[in-house]
Structure 1
Amino acid sequence: MAPINDSMAVAGIHHITAVASSAAENLDFYTGVLQLRLVKKTVNFDDPYTYHLYYGDQTGRPGTILTFFPWEQVRPGTPGAGSVSAVAFAVPPGALNHWCDHLTDCRIPFDETARFGENVIHFTDPHGLPLELVAQPPARDEQEASAEPEIETAIQGFHSATVLLNRMEDTEALIAKVMGMVPVGREGSRYRFAMDDLKSAGQLFDVVIDPSAPPVQPGGGTVHHIAFRTRDSQEQIKWQAKLRDHGLQVTEVRDRKYFQSIYFREPGGVLFEIATDPPGFTVDEAPHSLGRDLKLPGQYEPLRTDIKAKLPSLMPD
């Protein structure tokens, strides 16, 4: 597969953000069961009394980051049309048997299937978020595993994301003709697209079409948005103009401290973000101490004592 030549093609998945119903249960599952690293412990910039937890590889590279807004006791949601309906992680070839054994030991039910010639394990997190593990050789510039334990079997980053839609045409026009994704396969109602930077994690994007699927019911266990990579803020401004030229309602640039963001909804209702690769998660913590301390954006530093007092415990009951 040849790389896309359009310099404005999205370079891959940057991060995916979902909703959880308990910060402590969320932290325990993603660092304990999935053995990801907590790379940033901060707060929701629009709701500072709620955690925003970031999990990924040892340095939090784009393409490895799954983040959560853990709203305590939020009602369960239901994935549906207009949402990311599954998040798939890549693991090294030969690692799926290890993960089957590991999930069994952790008493987590799972199913096994095949898709586009790849073996897939499907399960959910404690709050119902659909997750998948897919055996895939490491991308060419990613020879390090994502977690220290069991390096030969560790999660490497994203393999793909799946969105569920009622119809295809308008979304396909956006992701293929505007965002530069390339169609690379179809199995029944599932369409697969590839993105630009074939050296990195998170290069695949699947669209499943079900005209009768009910709309997503937001809540615990659903994805809030999916972010795609752009190289820098200058390119991001070009994206903003390009998307607006195609009739999309795009936000102003928002400073998320670790990246800059713009947001818009694609025609099927999924909330998309385009996020810059820099500055990254080491802007306020050394690599060896990522995720250790609570980091707040500057506007909330005067409220640090109050915020810390009201944030829920990260220790499981």
Structure 2
Amino acid sequence: MNLLQGIHHAAYRCTDAKRTVDFYRETLGMDLILAISEDRVPSTKAPDPYMHIFLDAGAGNVLAFFELPNSPAMGRDPNTPDWVQHIAFKVKDVDTLVATKARLAAQGIDAIGPTDHGIFKSIYFRDPDGHRLELAADVARPGVLDRLHAVAPEMIEEWSRTRRAVKHAAFLHEEEFAGTEDQA
């Protein structure tokens, strides 16, 4: 039984709340929904002043950030590749990806892609604090998501046994599925 109704918000850390709001507003059109600032953490009662901002990511989704001026500098897990942890946002189509990449370049922001994942194409870039962001446009052909759903349990079982790349979804990058943006 799934008791969840969705993700209420996802929260990350930032070093400058205003800069973060400005970046997400200017690059992705996200509006500031609200800000909360207190001297104590409500859940732990620890004395730690913070600014907690909430941004509208569209369709009822919320992205939040904490600025923590009294905490040590932000760091990254040195054992996790920096491409792993990221925030992915859905966009309308591949044309939106291409236009956004051009707009980012005009703002001096480097973006990688579009990268073809078979069921979606995406671009990648970073916010001012180094968080990796992804914009993804669905391009799946009819039936592909059903095929992926059907093989997922078997893939997890095989991965669990072998810890080697599982090839059940290799069809995504085979020639017959190349260029899905033209059919989507």
Q: Give yes or no for TM over 0.5.
A: yes
| Distance verdict in 2 for CA 1:169–1:281, change over 3 Å | farther
How many pairs were matched up? 144
Q: What residue is the counterpart of 1:180 in the other structure?
A: 29
Cα pair 2:14 2:66 within 8 Å, conserved: yes
| Distance verdict in 2 for CA 1:239–1:160, change over 3 Å | same
Q: Which moved more, 1:278-287 or 1:170-179?
A: 278-287
Q: Which moved more, 1:250-259 or 1:158-167?
A: 158-167
Percent identity over the alignment? 23
Instruction: Give 1:218 shift.
Output: 4.0
Q: What residue is the counterpart of 2:56 in the other structure?
A: 194
Tell me which amino acid in the other structure corresponds to 1:217: D
Alignment of 1:213 onto 2:72: yes
Deviations along 1:11-50, one digit per CA (max 9) or x if unpaired, are: xxxxxxxxxxxxxxxxxxxxxxxxxxxxxxxxxxxxxxxx
- 3-state DSSP of counterpart to 1:289: helix
Cα pair 1:281 1:290 within 8 Å, conserved: no
Deviations along 1:98-144, one digit per CA (max 9) or x if unpaired, are: xxxxxxxxxxxxxxxxxxxxxxxxxxxxxxxxxxxxxxxxxxxxxxx
Q: What residue is the counterpart of 1:119 in the other structure?
A: none
1:263 to 124, 127, 146: 124
* TM-score using structure 2 length: 0.67
Distance in 2, matches of 1:281 and 1:157, equals 25
Q: What residue is the counterpart of 1:295 in the other structure?
A: 169
| Distance verdict in 2 for CA 1:280–1:158, change over 3 Å | farther
Trace 1:217-256 onto structure 2 (pairs within 5 A). 217-219=77-79, 224-256=85-117
- 3-state DSSP of counterpart to 1:249: coil
Distance in 1, matches of 2:142 and 2:17, equals 35
Cα pair 1:190 1:208 within 8 Å, conserved: yes
Distance in 2, matches of 1:280 and 1:170, equals 39
Tell me which amino acid in the other structure corresponds to 2:17: M
Trace 1:1-317 onto structure 2 (pairs within 5 A). 150-151=1-2, 153=3, 155-188=4-37, 189-198=51-60, 203-211=61-69, 212-214=71-73, 215-219=75-79, 224-279=85-140, 282-283=143-144, 285-286=146-147, 289=150, 291-293=152-154, 294-296=168-170, 297-298=172-173
Distance in 1, matches of 2:142 and 2:22, equals 33
Instruction: Give 1:288 shift.
Output: 6.4
- 3-state DSSP of counterpart to 1:191: strand
* TM-score using structure 1 length: 0.41
Distance in 2, matches of 1:256 and 1:171, equals 29
Distance in 2, matches of 1:238 and 1:162, equals 27
Instruction: Give 1:277 shift.
Output: 3.0
Find runs of 4+ consecutive structure 1 residues off by over 4 angstroms: none
Instruction: Give 1:242 shift.
Output: 1.3
**More helix as a share of residues:** 2
Deviations along 1:62-81, one digit per CA (max 9) or x if unpaired, are: xxxxxxxxxxxxxxxxxxxx
Structure 1 unmatched ranges of 5 or more? 1-149, 300-317
Distance in 2, matches of 1:196 and 1:284, equals 23
Greater Rg over alpha carbons, structure: 2
